[in-house]
């Protein structure tokens, strides 16, 4: 098996003639059924929008240092959180999720890793987790809500360091199921104040009606 580190903590593996994305971990327990090969955890772009973004445009993904701090909004049961935790192995992932059911699985993952802080809270009310957080290098947001841009602004105003990076995985159908995805995208982009944005990326063929909007705090 040939491995290549394409960005800090992110690898491509050549397996049976195919290139696959992976991160590295000492945790030998699969989080979502992923294959683990010699401590490399395969990262599935159909399960994780961040992996899809990396495959579509590596330059859109900020190079995260090993000790980076990440605020992750919409952690669910930890599929993508686990890979982010692998990448920032000496840093911290503040993982916000409002579903108690998903949080139960997430807490199990946190018990095996010491760099994830699980936070049961509504990402639309960032003031509620202020006592738990310090300013972060990256905010990653993946919440299927009507007001995704507002949630992004509230959290970045409060917790993103100046010059810090932001990735919003926009699910257009959650904002307006009847409007065209492009119209929803443009309307949400207009609401993202205080962020210097890169061109949005469609996540097809991995995720339908999803766009990655990345940027930096001005
Ligand atoms: C598409 S799933 C996230 C998948 C996850 N990011 C991954 O890649 O593994 C969206 C998650 O956001 C959570 N969510 C939705 N609205 C939220 C809110 N306002 N605050 C916190 N979590 C929220 C949902 O409960 C759900 O678990």
Residue 23: the pLDDT is 98
Please report the atom of ligand 1 found closest to the CA of residue 48.
8
Distance CA 96, CA 106 (A): 10
Lowest mean pLDDT among 25-29, 88-92, 125-129: 25-29
Q: Find the 142 Cα to ligand 1 centroid distance in Å.
A: 6
Same domain, 82 and 8: no
- Please give the distance, rounded to the nearest whole angstrom, from the Cα atom of residue 99 to the centre of ligand 1: 8
For residues 6 and 13, what is the distance between their CA atoms, to the nearest angstrom? 10
Its pTM stands at: 0.97
pLDDT per position as a tens digit, 176-193: 999 999 999 999 999 998
Find the CATH number of the domain harbouring 159: 3.40.50.150
pLDDT confidence of residue 122: 98
How many domains would you assign to the chain? 2
Q: Clarify whether residues 60 and 143 are in a common domain.
A: yes
Does 123 sit in the ligand 1 pocket, CB within 6 Å?
yes
Given pLDDT bands bounded at 50, 70 and 90, which one contains residue 151? very high
Do the beta carbons of residue 71 and residue 24 sit within 8 Å?
Answer: no
Residues forming beta bridges with residue 41, ordered by sequence position: 23, 36
Domain that holds residue 70: 53-217
Residue 15 and residue 110 share a domain: no
Shared domain for 33 and 73, answered yes or no, is no
CA 81 to ligand 1 center in whole angstroms:
11
Query: Are both 16 and 117 inside the same structural domain?
Result: no
Q: What is the pLDDT of residues 51-98, one digit of tens each?
A: 999 999 988 888 789 999 999 999 999 999 999 999 999 999 999 999
Average pLDDT over residues 118-130: 97
3-state SS, residue 201? strand
* Residues 26 and 114 both lie in one domain: no
Residue 65: what pLDDT?
A: 92
């Amino acid at each position: 098996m040939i491995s290549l580190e394409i960005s800090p903590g992110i690898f491509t593996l050549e397996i049976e003639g195919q290139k696959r994305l992976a991160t590295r971990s000492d945790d030998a327990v699969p989080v979502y059924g992923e294959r683990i090969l010699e401590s490399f955890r395969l990262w599935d772009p159909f399960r994780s929008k961040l992996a899809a973004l990396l495959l579509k445009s590596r330059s859109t993904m900020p190079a995260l240092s090993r000790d980076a701090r990440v605020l992750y909004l919409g952690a669910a049961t930890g599929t993508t959180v686990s890979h982010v935790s692998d990448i920032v192995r000496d840093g911290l992932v503040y993982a916000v999720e409002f579903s108690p059911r998903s949080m139960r699985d997430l807490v199990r993952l946190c018990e095996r890793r010491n760099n994830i802080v699980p936070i049961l809270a509504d990402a639309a009310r960032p003031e509620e987790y202020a006592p738990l957080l310090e300013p972060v290098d990256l905010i990653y947001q993946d919440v299927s809500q009507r007001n995704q841009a507002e949630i992004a602004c509230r959290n970045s105003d409060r917790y993103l360091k100046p010059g810090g990076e932001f990735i919003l995985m926009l699910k257009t159908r959650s904002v307006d199921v009847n409007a065209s995805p492009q119209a929803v995208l443009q309307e949400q982009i207009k609401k993202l104040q205080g962020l210097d944005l890169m061109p949005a990326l469609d996540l097809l063929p991995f995720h339908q009606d999803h766009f990655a909007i990345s940027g930096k705090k001005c």
